[in-house]
Amino acid sequence: MANNNKTVVIQWVLDTRKLWPQATQTSQLRQYAARALELLTPTQREDALRYVHCKDAKMALGSQLLKRYLISRYAGVAWDAAVATRNKDTKPVFLHPDDGSEPLIFNVSHQAGLVVVAAALHPPPG
């Protein structure tokens, strides 16, 4: 089936350096970032909180939230269904639960407190 939709490129940058400033240790994010953590699955929460350094945990949390928001907003699924998995190359992917399609391709990178998401909605084949 042909894709009649134009490809849309999405780029977001999240600066986590000033988020939850009261948290100076990763364990403190459970209290100060509780609202954000509740938006994630238990596995995603634990993945974000496994980091020794709080700054790394903040970036992991921001990364998880941005991926879910991206999928929910652009793939047309509810927040609860907006969960990325990993392909054989360990890259994040989202396969639509209705038909197994990949309505958007994306990647996330983080460094020095910044989380960057780049995505293509309705990517060309291949």
Give me the number of domains the chain comprises.
Answer: 1
What is the rounded average pLDDT for all residues in the chain? Answer: 93
pLDDT at 12 over 90: yes
Question: Does residue 2 lie within any of the structural domains?
Answer: no
Instruction: Determine the structural domain holding residue 21 and report its residue range.
Output: 8-121
Question: Does residue 3 lie within any of the structural domains?
Answer: no
The per-residue DSSP string of 19-50 comes to SSTT--SGGGHHHHTHHHHHTS-HHHHHHHTT
pLDDT tens for each residue of 78-124: 999 999 999 999 989 999 999 988 999 999 999 999 999 999 998 88
pLDDT value of position 3: 53
Q: Which of 5-9, 27-31, 67-71 has the lowest average pLDDT? A: 5-9
- Residue 66 maps to which CATH number? 3.90.470.20
